[in-house]
Structure 1
Amino acid sequence: MLDGLTNAPATDLRIEPENVLDPRHYAGVREQGPRLHALPLWCYSSPKFFQAEMEKLFYPGWNMMERLDRVPNKGDFHTLTFMNIPLVMVRGSDDKVRVFANTCRHRGALVAEGSGNCKSFRCPYHAWVYSLEGDLLGAQQYSDGEDVPLVTDENRREFGLIEIPSDSWGGFLFVKFRKGGESLADFLGGLPAVLASHRLEDMVCTNRLVFDMDANWKAFVENYSDGYHIPTVHKDSLARWKAKYTRQPPPPNGNYTIAFAEHEGSQLLLPFPDYVGFPAMPQIEKPWDKGTFFVTIRPGMMMTMGNDGALAFCCEPTGPTTSRLTVSSLFPKSTVARNDFEEIAKNYYRRNGIVVKEDVDISLRQAAGIASPFARMVTLQKLEKPLNQIANWILDKVLGPTA
């Protein structure tokens, strides 16, 4: 405990307790009323709490990982590390996109690197060969000490690449690292129906921004839902938009939130004369054709969906105090086919370079500040209510729901 000059409370919410999973530590977060609280500060740095999030939240749950258009053709593959796990996504000969653990079943070497197109995967260590569907095709000279083959027709299926459960919606590829539990359709609930007329599945990613951040994954996720920061952090950008906000009814499963801002134009741009954009997509249902959706799909996916395209955020945990943010610009294929697409799209990318960087910078400043021994977390302001909702959703997953 610091000396009396700090006015430290009797219970210092920055100092990690021995048992971070004791529900009594979160009584203030659980309490509902006019005064709400966010998570204790140790939840943004504790290795124990981070591991509990991974075990209870990320590994068994659905996580948005990539766009299907990353592998548009049969035989296309793309390797990546997602939540520190080496993976390869590939479009098979049957045109289905699958995700495999990028590790050979023999001695664990990476079976693929980078991106490209192939007919099979060949491990560079001992030349084991796998099909695009993950089946073992060959293991040269793999015999025991008596020259008896160790791979036979009877056990060959045991040696295929390990497939990671995956499913897709709207052109987004989702993965979960443990089998069982609810389907992606059940997890998403009514969201696909609300956004159906935007036809996300017909969009393609034209630009990506990637930020490796020295900040817990919750920092950016909470910032996206925090309306209190906009007049300050975005005073010369997003704050210039004048819109009427309406929040849609919460879904029964609570795995997503959605709000709609009514306005002319698109918040994928900035409201200044030199930000010329694309026309609204003609198929969008009224009144969604005049405004912007702001969506969160918990735990780490967010979307700013205009009437002319979409901006998708994936905040991926990489450690207790580190995360990776991927921001994808999406436009309809018909828009991308325009002769002037590249020139006009620069206005959208320019907006992202300003607004997203403002959010990243403030997330990093917050992360650096709460590492201080003098850091405290006080009562939330009314526009920060979503932070309490996020906190309780996390606690429901990590500790179990309250009575």
Structure 2
Amino acid sequence: MLDGLTNAPASDLRIEPENVLDPRHFAAVRAQGPRLHALPLWCYSSPKFFQAEMERLFYPGWNMMERVERVPNKGDFHTLTFMNIPLIMVRGSDDKVRVFANTCRHRGAVIAEGSGNCKNFRCPYHAWVYSLEGDLLGAQQYDDGEDKPIVTDANKREYGLIEIPSESWGGFLFVKFRKGGESLQDFLGEVPARLASHRLEDMVCTKQLVFDMEANWKCFVENYSDGYHIPTVHKDSLARWKAKYTRQAPPPSGNYTIAFAEHDGSQLLLPFPDYVGFPPMPQIDKEWARGTFFTTIRPGMMMTMGNDGALAFRCEPIGPTKSRLTVSSLFPKSTVARNDFEEIAKNYYRRNDMVVREDVDISLKQAAGIASPFARMVTLQKLEKPLNQIANWVLDRVIGKDAA
């Protein structure tokens, strides 16, 4: 049986092939023209394809992890598990924020939990002590069978905590799990310059929503860029906005997309009388003061940036059919200092409770449907073109740009 829309066996779209990295599986995705295609359905559930994404896309690439403000003072630390890897972010005695693998260099025990402030880290298993900069300070009674110390001044540097490469932009901390490759500045391309006047670095996170989803990470990322679903999924929320998409970044060869919707107000709210918000930030460039930016920094960071604040999304892969979505509400420090901040901010939060949950729910419904033996992926509609761009960006990194 053939699927006439793809000229490939219909079952092949759902069932994982033996060689998931064979470029021939993606011929329809690679083909460009008026009729475009997304990835085969098995790319949303295949353990082999997921592992290739982790090894070739996520581990060597830059991933938005947290806000630097999580550790504002020297000695502040915050632990988290990111993409199944236990990590510590800490502000050192030199005021620099670093990220370390949260695992003792001796026998691998987690050395810190939760958040707080400390002068050093002490492993709970054998009391190895590490500085805030990751250096091993002491390993008590760590002698070999001849009572000679295993750790000496000559080799002590070899036993420090493993530092994860990290850089920051706009108050966001990015990490990569493989050394080398392009800098964060090169990775972000034109994004910092285009969004500079919003001054993300001067904002703070006032609330987070976290969703553990039974869905591949691409489900939500694609949904954020899918304009076709808005009249249906958001018929009583975002669809009520009347916006003119007059400015959009040219199709990038890099790792991001930027679109600008021109309208009155802020899409961090809903266009209803009872959604009272904060005034626009005075420093925004005049051409961007009336409208909302929609930005995707691949693979898993998205931002909705109004003239009054920002909403940042992080979609984190957990497994082939599992992901974690973290949604952060950001406002300027001067706005948060207002006496009426908490009251007005409720309007932004209830907008998120509605709109984000609509997107999460539909992502879960799509993921559940993909599991069906009768699931099919057909030609994309014109407002779904970004899904093909996302697919090709993934394939460029997972199977190679020149693979044919």
- Give the TM bin, normalised by the shorter chain: over 0.9
Question: Which segments of 5 or more consecutive residues in structure 1 lack a partner in the other structure?
Answer: 3-7
Mapping of residues 244-283 of structure 1, within 5 Å: 244-250=244-250, 253-283=253-283
Deviation at 1:203, TM superposition (A): 0.3
User: For the residues of structure 2 that align with 1:141 and 1:347, how far apart are their CA atoms?
Assistant: 58
Mapping of residues 75-90 of structure 1, within 5 Å: 75-90=75-90
Q: Work out whether 1:31 is the aligned partner of 2:15.
A: no
3-state SS of paired residue (1:43): helix
Q: 1:50 corresponds to which residue?
A: 50
Deviation at 1:87, TM superposition (A): 0.2
1:255 is aligned with what amino acid? N
Q: 1:19 corresponds to which residue?
A: 19
1:186 is aligned with what amino acid? D
Q: Work out whether 1:290 is the aligned partner of 2:290.
A: yes
1:294 is aligned with what amino acid? F
3-state SS of paired residue (2:311): strand
User: For the residues of structure 1 that align with 2:394 and 2:183, how far apart are their CA atoms?
Assistant: 19
Q: Work out whether 1:136 is the aligned partner of 2:119.
A: no
User: For the residues of structure 1 that align with 2:236 and 2:249, how far apart are their CA atoms?
Assistant: 31
Q: 1:217 corresponds to which residue?
A: 217
User: For the residues of structure 1 that align with 2:319 and 2:214, how far apart are their CA atoms?
Assistant: 9
Q: 2:95 corresponds to which residue?
A: 95
RMSD: 1.3
3-state SS of paired residue (2:287): coil
Q: 2:334 corresponds to which residue?
A: 334
User: For the residues of structure 2 that align with 1:345 and 1:18, how far apart are their CA atoms?
Assistant: 51
Q: 2:243 corresponds to which residue?
A: 243
CA contact (8 A) 2:10 2:376 kept: no
Question: Which segments of 5 or more consecutive residues in structure 2 lack a partner in the other structure?
Answer: 3-7
Q: TM-score, normalised by structure 1?
A: 0.97
Deviations 1:290-328 (A, max 9, x none): 100000000000000000000000000000000000000
Q: 1:112 corresponds to which residue?
A: 112
User: For the residues of structure 2 that align with 1:390 and 1:61, how far apart are their CA atoms?
Assistant: 15
User: For the residues of structure 1 that align with 2:312 and 2:320, how far apart are their CA atoms?
Assistant: 23
CA contact (8 A) 1:189 1:253 kept: no
Q: Assess, with a 3 A threshold, how the Cα gap between structure 1 residues 285 and 159 changes in structure 2: closer, same or farther.
A: same
Deviation at 1:145, TM superposition (A): 1.3
CA contact (8 A) 2:215 2:364 kept: yes
Moved more, 139-148 or 225-234: 139-148
User: For the residues of structure 1 that align with 2:297 and 2:204, how far apart are their CA atoms?
Assistant: 20
Moved more, 12-21 or 369-378: 12-21
Deviation at 1:48, TM superposition (A): 0.4
User: For the residues of structure 2 that align with 1:226 and 1:390, how far apart are their CA atoms?
Assistant: 11
CA contact (8 A) 2:313 2:326 kept: yes
Deviations 1:258-282 (A, max 9, x none): 0000011100001111111000000
Mapping of residues 111-260 of structure 1, within 5 Å: 111-250=111-250, 253-260=253-260
CA contact (8 A) 2:77 2:117 kept: yes
Aligned residues: 398
Q: TM-score, normalised by structure 2?
A: 0.97
User: For the residues of structure 1 that align with 2:49 and 2:342, how far apart are their CA atoms?
Assistant: 44
Deviation at 1:369, TM superposition (A): 0.4
CA contact (8 A) 2:309 2:330 kept: yes
3-state SS of paired residue (2:149): coil
CA contact (8 A) 1:215 1:363 kept: yes
Q: 1:385 corresponds to which residue?
A: 385
Q: Assess, with a 3 A threshold, how the Cα gap between structure 1 residues 295 and 271 changes in structure 2: closer, same or farther.
A: same
User: For the residues of structure 2 that align with 1:304 and 1:119, how far apart are their CA atoms?
Assistant: 38
Deviation at 1:357, TM superposition (A): 0.1
Q: Assess, with a 3 A threshold, how the Cα gap between structure 1 residues 81 and 372 changes in structure 2: closer, same or farther.
A: same
1:342 is aligned with what amino acid? E
